[in-house]
């Protein structure tokens, strides 16, 4: 379900009035940048988690496209759409894209459009996945190397995630795991990866993975080491979990042919993350912006 009011180029409008042009450059070539941000209904009212970090990453993506964005204005718009749609637990989607005016590849002649939408929260991997964990399948596809497209939230690059996730879903799994040509783990289609071995928590590090804000949060909360991890090492982990704005901390109950179940460390980290984002833990207060 999508909320009915969206922020478009500086004003709040009804969603039905916000249809993009069929000749928008962004529609044809994915020349856009987006973010995925969570807000939470806390005891103090709606709060947006790590808004500044999300918008800083958005700005980096926009810079690669040569697109001007008003980061302060779009940050304020995140709160505006929450209020306009009376949302607390929500998913916020800022998106900037190049509009019509030419189907060439020179963006300097085009203008950008800017939108912020908010929708009631749900996790993209399914609502029961927190309890039972997800099944993860090693993809036959490679993640786009960051030497080809920067590891940021640039629209067109998500075709890579879509085809990998589609392959996993058709094989009966919930999610895809990208592994590189040298056997190193990269990330999921929209999540970073952690593993637990002998009680030690490790954040998988890879140049082609999105620098995730949830990954950074979980590292700070757990003191997890960040280092490259091979697929062979991951296959022997005691526990594996995925992290991301949408999935938060979600256990991997199965990796390819191996059943792991959702382990105790994963459950502990998930509960800690939940308390932090909901303002129930001191560690999180500086990360929560009023909406």
Q: Which amino acids are annotated catalytic?
A: 153
- Separation between Cα atoms, residue 64 and residue 193, nearest integer Å: 26
User: Does the CA dihedral 105-60-139-28 come out positive or negative?
Assistant: negative
CB 250 within 8 A of CB 133: yes
- Separation between Cα atoms, residue 177 and residue 192, nearest integer Å: 10
CB 69 within 8 A of CB 10: no
Task: Rule CB under 6 A: say whether 208 interacts with ligand PMP.
Answer: no
Task: Rule CB under 6 A: say whether 187 interacts with ligand PMP.
Answer: yes
Q: Which is nearer to ligand PMP, 112 or 218 (CB)?
A: 218
Binding to ligand PMP (CB under 6 A): which residues in 72-131? Answer: none
- Separation between Cα atoms, residue 186 and residue 192, nearest integer Å: 8
CB of 204 to ligand PMP, least distance (A): 11
Indicate which single residue of 26, 61, 212, 251 sits in contact with ligand PMP (rule: CB under 6 A).
Answer: 212
- Separation between Cα atoms, residue 267 and residue 221, nearest integer Å: 14
Residue identified by tokens 């002649």 is 109
Number of residues in contact with ligand PMP under rule CB under 6 A: 13
Candidates 15-23, 85-93, 189-197, 280-288; binding stretch for ligand PMP (CB under 6 A): 189-197
Task: Rule CB under 6 A: say whether 218 interacts with ligand PMP.
Answer: no
DSSP letters spanning 96-112: EEE-SS-SSS-GGG--E
Q: Taking CB under 6 A as the rule, which mask of x and - marks residues 227-246 in contact with ligand PMP?
A: -----------------xx-
Indicate which single residue of 118, 125, 210, 253 sits in contact with ligand PMP (rule: CB under 6 A).
Answer: 210
Binding site for ligand PMP (CB under 6 A): 36, 161, 187, 190-192, 210, 212-215, 244-245
């Amino acid at each position: 379900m999508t909320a009915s009011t969206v922020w478009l180029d500086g004003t709040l409008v009804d969603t039905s009035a916000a249809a993009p042009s069929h000749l928008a450059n962004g529609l044809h070539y994915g020349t856009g940048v987006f973010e995925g941000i969570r807000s939470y209904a806390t005891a103090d009212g709606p709060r947006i988690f790590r808004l500044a970090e999300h918008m800083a990453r958005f700005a980096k993506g926009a810079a690669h496209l040569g697109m001007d964005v008003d980061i302060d204005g779009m940050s304020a718009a995140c709160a505006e759409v929450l209020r306009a749609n009376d949302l607390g637990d929500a998913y916020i989607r800022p998106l900037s894209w190049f509009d019509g005016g030419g189907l060439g590849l020179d963006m300097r002649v085009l203008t950008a459009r800017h939108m912020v939408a908010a929708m009631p929260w749900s996790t993209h991997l399914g609502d029961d996945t927190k309890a039972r964990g997800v099944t993860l399948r090693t993809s036959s596809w490679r993640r786009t190397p960051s030497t080809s497209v920067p590891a940021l939230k640039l629209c067109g690059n998500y075709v890579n995630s879509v085809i990998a996730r589609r392959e996993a879903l058709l094989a009966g799994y919930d999610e895809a795991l990208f592994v590189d040509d040298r056997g190193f783990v990269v990330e999921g289609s929209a999540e970073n990866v952690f593993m637990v071995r002998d009680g030690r928590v490790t954040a998988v590090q890879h140049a082609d993975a999105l620098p995730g804000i949830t990954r950074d949060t979980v590292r700070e909360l757990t003191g997890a080491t960040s280092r490259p991890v091979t697929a062979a090492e991951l296959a022997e982990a005691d526990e594996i979990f995925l992290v991301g704005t949408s999935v938060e901390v979600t256990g991997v109950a199965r990796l390819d042919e191996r059943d792991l179940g959702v382990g105790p460390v994963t459950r502990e980290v998930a509960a800690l993350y939940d308390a932090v984002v909901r303002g129930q833990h001191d560690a999180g207060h500086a990360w929560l912006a009023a909406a």
